A = this chain, B = another copy of it.
């Protein structure tokens, strides 16, 4: 796990190879779960029956399922970006980190369930507040666990010491407001479910858009001309 400079070059090749797998496999499993959870969402999109009279109308009436699909895609995408922001600076892991990561993946793989829930109840006449609450709670726990993962890796010194401090704190500056917003939206959603749904969509898109903007500027600044 520790990528310490090895004394002999020949020995380091054979020795480092098995170690490298440790975080590689964690990342391999994580990308698999993210990719699968994000692709499973499409299974819940219902095609209008072939016997339907007005297919366009039927399709337009199914807007809640498309909305839920896009919100969840954006939310899982945002979680993936946040997860990437953590592993990008990681130089080693430990058993607790791997366990926390499994918890994050538990929530990621669970996301299709609240998505289906949301899509079902927005479509019905039933008060959709329960679906909205369950959905918000799932996203809140997911983001909270991502924050915990970042916090743990930082406390244990698992991040690359060369990473500038403002790059690492950028994660917090994004996550804390997002998590606060989810808390507020869950409370609001109990009374105004529509507001919460719109809120979930807005956060997911904001999260995706400028998340690493500053980060890139920082790393590319002192770069010498290539070739």
Contacts and interface: CB of A to CB of B under 8 A. Distances in A.
Interface residues of A, number: 98
Interface in A1-57: 1-5, 10-11, 13-15, 17-19, 21-22, 24-29, 31-43, 45, 47-52, 55-56
A216 to B, nearest CB: 4
A161 B98 contact: no
A110 to B, nearest CB: 6
A175 to B, nearest CB: 16
What does DSSP make chain A's interface, helix, strand, loop or mixed? Answer: helix
Interface stretch (A85-93, A140-148, A184-192, A195-203): A85-93
A77 to B, nearest CB: 5
Contacts of A94: 212, 216, 220
Copies in the complex: 4
Interface of A: 1-5, 10-11, 13-15, 17-19, 21-22, 24-29, 31-43, 45, 47-52, 55-56, 59, 69-70, 73, 77, 80-81, 84, 87-92, 94-96, 98-99, 102, 105-106, 109-113, 116-117, 120-121, 123-124, 126, 130-131, 134, 160-163, 208-213, 215-216, 219-220, 223-224, 226-227
Nearest 8 CB-CB pairs, A to B? A32-B35, A95-B212, A50-B124, A28-B31, A36-B39, A39-B109, A94-B216, A5-B10
Given A25-B84, A40-B42, A73-B106, 7 more contacts: A4-B226, A32-B34, A32-B39, A38-B105, A50-B124, A55-B121, A99-B209
16 contacts: A2-B219, A2-B220, A3-B13, A4-B226, A25-B84, A28-B31, A29-B34, A33-B38, A36-B36, A40-B42, A42-B111, A43-B112, A50-B121, A73-B109, A94-B216, A161-B226
